[in-house]
Amino acid sequence: MSALLKLKKINLKYQTGKENISVLKDIDLIIKKKETVSVVGESGSGKTSLIMLIGGLERPTSGKIIFQDQEITNINEDEVSEIRKKNIGIIFQSFYLIPNYTAFENVALTLELNKFKNPEKEAKLLLERFGLKHRFNNLPSQLSGGEQQRVAIARAIAMKPELILADEPTGNLDTENSIMISDILFEYVKEEGSSLIMVTHDPKLANKAKRKIKIKDGKIK
């Protein structure tokens, strides 16, 4: 399998007052196409920072990020948005659905943004696939946590991204819903051939991935 993503000597530092905090140190990482990777580590080890960098939501202090053979480290925000829009789907621990959009509209928004010909139809198909046919027109506040996360996954995978970034996707869910969500996610990447980078504290979920990366004090162990 060829490489989808390469991180070369990535460092991330934050300036807080006069103090420099080194969050990530000399990270070298290659993610292959269709690969599933879990990222584990203690709180504050730099897991979330790593996927923020990969998603182009943060810029590294030094080093290079190459996505699909294109260096994205120094391109402008709009160009990063363009890459993210087409190729990267993000799933958050707190779901982050747009509160005044229905489940269906939250998914359709991504499709419309990517100029799909029939976004409404696609959005409905996706929600049906995740067992949410009866929830099309419900607002996020009318959905359970598990349902909200299923809508969030549908939104993230709507344009069939090459890479899915998931930050503690089951962190806010009970055991039953956690199992359902992880099953949906892994089934999807298997079927569609996407790559998955997933941050998690759940060892069972972490073990579902082909590769497990442990981060400690900003370094890959």
Partner 1 sequence: MEKLNNPSEFNLIFKYALKDLSRNYQKISSIIVTLFISLFILSAIFTIEDSLKKELNDNAKVLLGGDLEIDYNRNQGNLDLVNKVKEFATISQMIEFSTMLSTTGRTKNKSLFTRIKTVDEKYPLYGEIIYEPEGAYERIQKEPNTILINESLSKTLNIKINEKVKVQDQNFTVIGFIKSVPDVSGFVAFGDWALAGKQTLEILKLNGIGSFLNYEYKVKFNSNDDPEKIEKRIQNIFKDDQKVKLRYPKNSASGLKRIINNFSQFLSLVSISAMLIAGIGIANTLLSFINQNNMSIAVRKAIGFYSGNIKTLYYLQLLILLFIITVISYGSSFLIVPVADKYLSDGLGLNVYPAFSFINFIKIFLVGLLVLIIFSIPTISSIDQVKASNLFRNVFQNLQFYYSKRSIALSFILLSILVLLFTIGSEKPSYSLGYFGAFFICLIVFFLLSKLIIFFLKKFKSSSNISLKVSIKNITQTKSITPITIMSLGLGVTLLLTLAMVGTNFQREIAKSIPDIAPDYFFVGIQKGEREKFEQGVLDMDPKANIEIVPMVSSGIVKINGVNPNTYIKPDNDSYWVIGSERRSSWVENVPEDNPILKGEWWDLSNPNQLQISLDAKVAKDFNIELGDIFTLNIYGREIDGKIVNFREVDYRDLSINFAMLFNPQFAKNIPHEYLATAKFNNTDQFDETQMLEILPSLSMIKISDYLNKVTAVLNKVFIAVTLISAVTIVIGLIVISSAIMVQGKVKEYQNLVFKILGFSKKEIIFSSIIEFLLIFFSVILIAIFFAVIGSKFIMENIFELVWKFDLKVLFNLGLSIGIVTLILIMLTNLKYLNPKVYPLIRNQ
Touching partner 1, residues 62-81 (CB under 8 A): 77-78, 81
DSSP-assigned beta bridge partners for residue 219: 216
Q: How far apart are CA 111 and CA 16, in angstroms?
A: 39
Q: Which is nearer to partner 1, 32 or 57 (CB)?
A: 57
Residues 82-101 binding partner 1 (CB under 8 A) are 82, 84-86, 90, 92-94, 96-100
d(CA 91, CA 169): 6
Strands 211-216 and 36-41: parallel
Which of residues 4, 7, 39, 55 is near partner 1 by CB under 8 A?
A: 55
Reduced to 3 states, what is the DSSP secondary structure of residue 144?
coil
Taking CB under 8 A as the rule, does residue 10 contact partner 1?
no
The partner residues of 165 in beta bridges, in order of sequence, read: 90, 197
> Residue 90 forms beta bridges with which residues?
165
Determine which residue in the list 3, 29, 66, 113 makes contact with partner 1, applying CB under 8 A.
113
Q: Does 11 bind partner 1 (CB under 8 A)?
A: no
Q: Does 114 bind partner 1 (CB under 8 A)?
A: yes
Among 122, 147, 162, 202, binds partner 1 (CB under 8 A): 122
Up-side HSE of residue 83: CA atoms within 13 Å toward CB? 21
Q: How far is the CB of 111 from partner 1 (least distance, A)?
A: 9
- Paired tokens of 184: 């949906």
C-alpha distances out from residue 80 to 70, 151, 157, 161, Å:
11, 24, 18, 14
- What does the per-residue mask of binding to partner 1 show for 134-173, with x meaning CB under 8 A? ---------------------xx----------x------
Q: Which residues bind partner 1 (CB under 8 A)?
A: 48, 51-52, 55, 57-58, 77-78, 81-82, 84-86, 90, 92-94, 96-100, 105, 109-110, 112-118, 122, 155-156, 167
